[in-house]
Every structure is written in C-alpha cells, then in structure tokens.
C-alpha cells in the first residue's frame, strides 16, 4: 500500500472519470459517481469463486468493488492501465491480482481470455462504431449473467417510436455542432431505445430478467438462454462460410455448391 500523503499527490489534478475513494482518505474526485449504478447491479455480497469481466473498465471502480467481494476479476479497456488511471489506482490500493488487458472491444474474443460467470458492459456501447459487434464480443465471454448499461433515447422520442428497436446516429460535435450530442463528447456514436438494447441482448442468446430505466440511462440484467453459438445470429453477422471446391467439370451441374 502507498503512504496516504503520497497517494493524494499522485491522484490530485488528474482527469478522473470515476469519482471514488481508492483507499480511505484518498479520493479521485472524478466527474461521475458510479456508486448508485454499482448498487443497482445487485451483485451478491459474496463473489468468492465467481469470475467477472469488466469490459470498458476505465478507472477501475467496478473492478475494484467486485474484487473486494471476492471475485476473480479481469478488466478490459482500450487504454493501457498506466494511462487510464486503473494502474495508478491499483498501485495505491494494492489489488495487483486483477488482470488488465488493453484491447478494443471490437477486437475482443474468447481466446485467449476465456469465459466468465458475470460480464459487465457499463457505459460502453454508445461509444463504439459497431455496437452490435461490441455486444456480441462481450456476450461471447459470458457464461451466465450479462449486465449492460447505456445511454438511452426513449424520452427524446414520441410514442410509438420510443417503443421501437431504434438506434440514433450521433454526429461528430467537432464538425456538426448543435445537433444534440450528449455532453459534446466526440466518442458518442449512438443512442438506443431501451427496446433496441433489449432486442440486441436477446439476439446474443440472453433473456432479459430485469430492466431499469431512469432519465437517459438504461440497465439490462440478463441471463444466458442459448447455449450454442448456432442458436444466435452472430456467426451469420460476422462469420464466413467454408469453401466447398467445385467439381472438375464446370459444365456439370453437380460441380457447383451454392449456399
């Protein structure tokens, strides 16, 4: 553990996202307090023997809280932990047994990381160019419980559009200002209706057991329903079919195989 006064000097003045206490008396003072969402996840107080993946871990609040409850935690982020605040917080709190991998969610795969009992996908999907692929990659990691939280546009739409599975593209605020981009954040690409996210999660082979909608945010708590990859459309969306060579004579109708 790092001495408290040194820890404060290391933390202060940095652009933290998560506002949390790394250790007693050492706070990040970020612009987003994740405590309410953590409580809303309703994870068991004892996670001993449970594996958990935190995809888009940012500064690491959710990873650290899960580890405190005994989970084996693996964190993923598009930044190296030395540049995301995760590594600094980990240096201070001493949770060195949390794995952290620098990988873009669009490149995330089961190999070499394996599968996890619980997968957290919190505040992530609207920041990626291909949210279906991102969700598919996260879902592939999940053996049991998938928790997805995201920006939601239900309240921006009139009925019946708010009840349709719709996505709204968010233009780059640097090039197209005053077009309704949340927080003028260039990393926001999409807004979803809650029904759209529900359908996407179901498309990945999960059943949504609980949905919580507040303001412009939505949380989906889902359990795996499909046990085989061929029970979902993911292979159809991003896979390719094996080549079946044609016969020797191209004039023979039997020489051709059409999928």
Which superfamily does 4-255 belong to? Vaccinia Virus protein VP39 (3.40.50.150)
Cα 66 from Cα 53, distance rounded (Å): 10
pTM of the model: 0.93
The band of 129, judged by pLDDT with boundaries at 50, 70 and 90, is very high
Domain ranges of the chain: 4-255
User: Residue 135's closest CA among 143, 144, 147?
Assistant: 147
The band of 156, judged by pLDDT with boundaries at 50, 70 and 90, is very high
Q: What is the pLDDT of residues 174-207, one digit of tens each?
A: 788 776 667 778 899 999 999 999 999 999 999 9
Judged against a pLDDT cut of 80, whether residue 1 lies above it is answered with: no
**Average pLDDT score over residue span 76-105:** 98
Distance linking the first and last C-alpha atoms of the chain: 60
Tell me what the pLDDT averaged over the chain comes to: 95
pLDDT of residue 179: 66
Judged against a pLDDT cut of 90, whether residue 238 lies above it is answered with: no
């Amino acid at each position: 553990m790092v001495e408290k006064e040194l820890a404060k000097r290391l933390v202060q003045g940095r652009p933290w996202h998560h506002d949390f206490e790394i250790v007693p008396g050492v706070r990040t003072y970020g612009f987003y307090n994740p405590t309410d969402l953590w409580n809303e996840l309703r994870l068991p107080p004892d996670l001993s023997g449970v594996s958990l993946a935190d995809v888009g871990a940012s500064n690491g609040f959710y990873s650290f809280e899960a580890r405190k409850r005994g989970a084996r935690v693996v964190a993923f982020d598009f930044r190296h932990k030395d540049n995301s605040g995760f590594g600094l917080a980990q240096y201070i709190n001493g949770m060195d047994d949390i794995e952290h991998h620098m990988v873009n969610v669009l490149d995330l795969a089961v190999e070499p990381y394996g599968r996890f009992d619980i997968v957290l996908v919190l505040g992530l999907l609207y920041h990626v160019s291909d949210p279906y692929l991102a969700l598919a990659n996260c879902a592939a990691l999940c053996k049991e419980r998938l928790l997805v939280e995201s920006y939601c546009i239900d309240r921006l739409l009139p009925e019946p559009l708010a009840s349709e599975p719709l996505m709204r593209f968010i233009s780059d605020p640097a090039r197209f200002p005053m077009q309704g981009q949340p927080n003028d954040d260039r990393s926001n690409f999409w807004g979803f209706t809650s029904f759209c996210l529900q359908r996407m999660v179901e498309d990945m082979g999960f059943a949504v057991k609980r949905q919580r909608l507040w303001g412009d945010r939505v949380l989906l708590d889902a359990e795996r329903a499909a046990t085989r990859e061929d029970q979902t459309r993911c292979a159809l969306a991003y896979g390719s079919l094996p080549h079946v060579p044609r016969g020797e004579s191209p004039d023979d109708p039997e020489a051709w195989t059409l999928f």
